[in-house]
């Protein structure tokens, strides 16, 4: 199938491609390959970067990485423009290379370097490549989070909660708890018991023999007594012997 472009449309697209080609080549020449030819030593003023941590030259390193990305983008754009101009010379411009159907002018007007129709455009597929580290870090806290295994010991999530209790950059609006109203409850599972699982464990204490049991009347003790599960014998005596019960 031949292209459905008119001569006027064809000439317009050729002129735009030629302008893009001149603009890209000029840009690459004026920017000296986006700084690729300059050494990082010249930018930082250091005689050698070997003895420095990358963080000591973070800005320069970031700008160099960005320059490389922009350079690759411009070079890819130049390759596509050159391919489109070559297609014009060969007489097959405006026809999809995959299915042979004529490419609408509206698509070519938006992207003159297009050589494929919308359906067969190779750039419509989003790359699914992800760093391999993400497989190790999922679920959150990696393999050190053992909540799903009904593990009540100290795990990776507990370690993070301790560090997080000293403060972070989150605000109450960023908390996973939608009802949080203050910074004291911003952290992950901030409402869970700290250092104990059952409320009884926080106010029952024993001596070294484990026979003499005493009661610490804390907030968990008050909640326990006023709840349906509270035992009346805990209200009267400060201590008791396990042999009596």
State pLDDT tens for residues 201-233.
777 788 888 788 888 888 777 877 777 665 555
The answer to whether residue 112 scores a pLDDT higher than 90 is yes
**Where in the chain are the domains?**
7-123, 135-185, 200-244
Class of domain 7-123: mainly alpha
Distance CA 17, CA 113 (A): 7
Per residue in 25-41, pLDDT (tens digit) is: 988 887 665 555 555 65
What is the predicted pLDDT for the residue at 239?
44
pLDDT band at residue 164 under the 50/70/90 scheme? confident
Give the position of tokens 């000029």. 26
- 237 pLDDT higher than 60: no
At residue 22 the predicted structure's pLDDT band, cuts being 50, 70 and 90, is: very high
145 pLDDT above the threshold of 50: yes
Question: What's the rounded Cα separation, in Å, for the pair 93 and 81?
Answer: 12
Give SS3 for 78: helix
DSSP 163-183: HHTT--S--GGGSS-TT--SG
| pTM of the full structure | 0.47
Half-sphere exposure of 28 (CA within 13 A, CB side): 16
DSSP of 10-61: HHHHHHHHHHHHHHHHHHHHHTTGGGTTS-HHHHHT-S-STTS-GGGGHHHH
Surface-to-core class of residue 112, CB atoms within 10 Å of its CB (0-12 exposed, 13-18 middle, 19+ buried): buried
Asked if pLDDT for residue 47 goes beyond 70, the answer is: no
- Condensed to tens digits (0 to 9), the pLDDT of residues 114-143 reads 999 888 888 666 777 777 777 766 656 656
Handedness of CA 128, 131, 133, 138 (dihedral sign): negative
């Amino acid at each position: 199938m031949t292209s459905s472009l008119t001569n006027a449309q064809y000439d317009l697209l050729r002129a735009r491609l030629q302008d893009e080609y001149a603009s890209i080549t000029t840009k690459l020449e004026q920017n000296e390959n986006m700084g690729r030819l300059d050494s990082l030593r010249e930018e930082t003023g250091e005689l050698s970067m070997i003895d420095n941590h990358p963080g000591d030259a973070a800005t320069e390193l970031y700008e160099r990485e960005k320059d490389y990305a922009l350079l690759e983008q411009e070079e890819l754009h130049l390759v596509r423009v050159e391919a489109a101009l070559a297609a014009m010379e060969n007489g097959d411009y405006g026809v999809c290379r995959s299915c042979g159907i004529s490419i609408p002018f509206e698509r070519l007007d938006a992207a003159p370097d297009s050589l494929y129709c919308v359906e067969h455009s190779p750039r419509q597929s989003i790359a699914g490549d992800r760093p391999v580290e993400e497989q190790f870090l999922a679920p959150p806290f990696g393999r050190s989070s053992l909540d799903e295994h009904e593990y009540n010991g100290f795990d990776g999530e507990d370690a993070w909660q301790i560090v997080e209790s000293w403060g972070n950059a989150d605000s109450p609006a960023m908390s996973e708890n939608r009802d949080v109203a203050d910074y004291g409850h911003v952290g992950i599972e901030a409402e869970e018991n700290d250092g104990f699982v059952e409320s009884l464990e926080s106010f029952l204490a024993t001596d070294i023999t484990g026979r003499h049991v005493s009661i610490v009347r804390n907030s968990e003790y008050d909640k326990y007594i006023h709840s349906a599960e509270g035992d009346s014998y805990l209200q009267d005596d400060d201590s008791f012997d396990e042999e009596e019960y």
